C-alpha cells in the first residue's frame, strides 16, 4: 500500500470542533460517505445532521447543522482529494436516514431541472433511476441485512415493471450520465443497463421474475468495495500495482459478504453472489479472480454465468461514460466504439452485438426527439 501522509488538522479547527479519538467501538458508530454523494451536498440549503471527517486516528465533528457553508464543504472536499491523506467523510449511523432523505431530495430536484433543460429525456426512466440510486447507496455503505435486502428487491422490482416496455430508457440514461455526471450512480446504472439489455434486446428475453434477480445482480455487483480501504477506493489518481491488487479483492469479498447475508436469512438469490465474484472475468479467460472463460452453459465448472456476461457489459459501458480524474467522460457512441475494440476478448459476442444494436437504437430515438423538441 502507498505511503500515507497524515493530514494535519489546523489549530483553528481543533479549537472550533469537537475531536473524538478513534477506537474500534467508536468507528462502528459511523458510516463513510462516497465522494459522489458528498459532492451532491453542495446543493443543500440546510442539513439536519452533523458531518464528520475521520483523519487518521481522529474523528472531527466538522459541520454542524447551523454551520453549513460552501466554504466548509470545500475544505472537506480538498482534504479528501489530497492523495494518500487517509481522510474520509462520515455521518453517524443514526443520521443515515436523514442524510439519505437529503440526497434523495437533491437528486429529484436535479432530475427535474435536467428534464426542463432537455425535454427529449424520458421522465419515467430518470425517476426510476433516482429510486434505484437510493437502493444502490444503501449497499455501498456496507452491512447487508434482511431489511436492506427487502428494500433493494422492492427497488429492483419497481424498476423492472416500469422499464420493460421503455425503449428510450437506455438512451436517456446514457445521455443523463453525460450531461449531468453528478447524478451518476454506478451500481444503479449497471442494474438498469443490464435489465434493459435482457428484457428488450436479447433474443431469448428474460422473464419479469428473472429480470428482478438480474437487477439485483447489477445493484450488488460491487458490494465488496465497501470492504476496500477508502484511501484506495477514493484515490483521485490511477492505482499502483499493489493498490490494484487490493482493489481486485472486491470480487471475492463481495461474494463472501453476500453469502454470509444469505446464510442468516437475507432474501438474496445465490446467483447475485456468483455475479459479484465473476463480474471482472473476461470471455477469453484473462479476467480475475479465477480466470473463468466462455459460457457456463457449455462448461459448468469454468464458464461464466449468463447474468455475469450481461452485467460485465453494462459495468464496462457505465464506467466509460463516467468522468474520472485519470480519464475523461465519453459520449455514449464513443464508449461503444472503445468497447468494440476488445469486445471479442472481453465479452460474449452475441450479447455484445445485441447490446450495441439496442443501445444505438435507443440513443437514436432520444436524439430524434431532441431535434423535434
Ligand atoms: Fe467491480
Ligand atoms: Fe462495477
> Who surrounds ion ligand 1 at CB < 5 A?
222
Pick 82 or 109 by higher pLDDT.
Answer: 109
Residue 1 confidence class, pLDDT cut points 50, 70, 90: very low
- What is the CA(10)–ligand 1 centre distance, in A? 37
- What is the CA(298)–ligand 1 centre distance, in A? 25
- What is the CA(221)–ligand 1 centre distance, in A? 7
- For CATH 1.10.3210.10, list the domain ranges present in the chain: 118-372
- What is the CA(373)–ligand 2 centre distance, in A? 34
- What is the CA(139)–ligand 2 centre distance, in A? 13
Pick 175 or 367 by higher pLDDT.
Answer: 175
Quick check: 3 pLDDT over 70?
no
User: What confidence score (pLDDT) does residue 2 get?
Assistant: 47
The model carries a pTM of 0.91
Quick check: 325 pLDDT over 80?
no
User: What confidence score (pLDDT) does residue 348 get?
Assistant: 96
| 317: Cβ contacts below 8 Å, ≥ 6 apart | 193, 335, 336, 339, 355, 359
3-class DSSP state of 202: coil
- What is the CA(291)–ligand 1 centre distance, in A? 15
Query: Taking the CB of residue 110, how many other CB atoms lie within 10 A of it?
Result: 18
- What is the CA(369)–ligand 1 centre distance, in A? 34
Q: For the residues 176-184, what does the mean pLDDT come to?
A: 91
Q: What are the DSSP calls for 279-300, one per residue?
A: TT--TTS-SSSS---SBTTT-T
The CATH code of the domain at 118-372 is 1.10.3210.10
Q: What are the DSSP calls for 95-135, one per residue?
A: GHHHHHHHHHHHHHHHHHHHHHH-TTS-HHHHHHHHHHHHH
Closest ligand relative to 316 C-alpha: 2
| 38: Cβ contacts below 8 Å, ≥ 6 apart | 76, 77, 80, 89
Cis geometry, peptide bond prior to residue 289 (ω within 30 degrees of 0): yes
Quick check: 172 pLDDT over 90?
yes
Closest ligand relative to 189 C-alpha: 2
Quick check: 95 pLDDT over 90?
yes
User: What confidence score (pLDDT) does residue 4 get?
Assistant: 54
Whose cell is 443520521? That residue is 95
Amino acid at each position: 500500500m502507498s505511503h500515507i501522509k497524515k493530514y494535519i488538522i489546523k489549530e483553528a479547527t481543533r479549537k472550533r470542533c469537537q475531536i473524538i479519538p478513534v477506537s474500534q467501538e467508536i468507528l462502528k458508530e459511523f458510516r463513510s460517505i462516497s465522494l459522489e454523494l458528498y459532492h451532491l451536498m453542495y446543493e443543500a440549503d440546510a442539513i439536519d445532521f452533523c458531518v464528520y471527517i475521520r483523519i487518521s486516528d481522529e474523528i472531527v465533528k466538522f459541520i454542524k447543522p447551523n454551520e453549513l457553508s460552501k466554504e466548509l464543504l470545500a475544505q472537506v472536499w480538498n482534504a479528501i482529494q489530497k492523495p494518500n491523506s487517509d481522510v474520509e467523510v462520515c455521518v453517524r449511523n443514526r443520521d443515515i436516514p436523514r442524510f439519505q432523505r437529503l440526497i434523495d431530495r437533491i437528486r429529484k430536484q436535479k432530475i427535474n431541472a435536467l428534464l426542463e433543460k432537455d425535454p427529449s429525456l424520458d421522465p419515467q426512466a430518470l425517476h426510476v433511476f433516482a429510486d434505484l440510486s437510493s437502493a444502490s447507496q444503501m449497499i455501498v455503505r456496507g452491512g447487508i441485512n434482511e431489511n436492506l435486502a427487502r428494500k433493494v428487491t422492492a427497488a429492483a422490482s419497481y424498476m423492472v415493471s416500469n422499464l420493460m416496455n421503455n425503449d428510450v430508457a437506455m438512451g436517456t440514461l446514457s445521455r443523463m450520465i453525460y450531461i449531468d455526471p453528478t447524478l451518476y450512480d454506478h451500481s444503479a446504472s449497471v442494474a438498469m443497463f443490464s435489465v434493459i439489455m435482457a428484457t428488450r434486446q436479447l433474443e431469448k428475453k428474460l422473464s419479469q421474475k428473472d429480470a428482478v434477480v438480474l437487477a439485483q445482480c447489477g445493484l450488488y455487483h460491487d458490494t465488496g468495495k465497501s470492504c476496500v480501504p477508502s484511501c484506495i477506493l477514493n484515490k483521485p489518481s490511477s492505482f499502483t500495482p499493489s493498490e490494484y491488487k487490493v482493489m481486485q479483492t472486491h470480487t471475492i469479498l463481495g461474494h463472501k459478504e453476500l453469502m454470509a447475508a444469505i446464510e442468516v436469512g437475507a432474501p438474496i438469490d445465490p446467483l447475485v453472489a456468483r455475479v459479484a465474484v465473476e463480474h471482472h472475468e473476461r470471455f477469453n479467460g484473462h479476467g480475475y479472480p479465477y480466470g473463468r472463460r466462455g459460457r457456463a452453459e457449455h462448461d459448468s465448472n469454468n464458464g461464466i454465468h449468463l447474468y455475469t456476461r450481461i452485467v460485465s457489459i453494462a459495468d464496462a459501458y457505465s464506467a466509460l461514460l463516467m468522468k474520472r480524474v485519470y480519464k475523461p467522460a465519453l459520449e455514449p457512441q464513443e464508449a461503444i466504439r472503445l468497447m468494440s475494440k476488445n469486445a471479442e476478448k472481453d465479452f460474449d459476442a452475441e450479447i455484445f452485438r445485441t447490446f450495441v444494436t439496442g443501445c444505438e437504437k435507443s440513443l437514436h430515438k432520444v436524439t430524434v426527439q431532441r431535434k423535434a423538441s
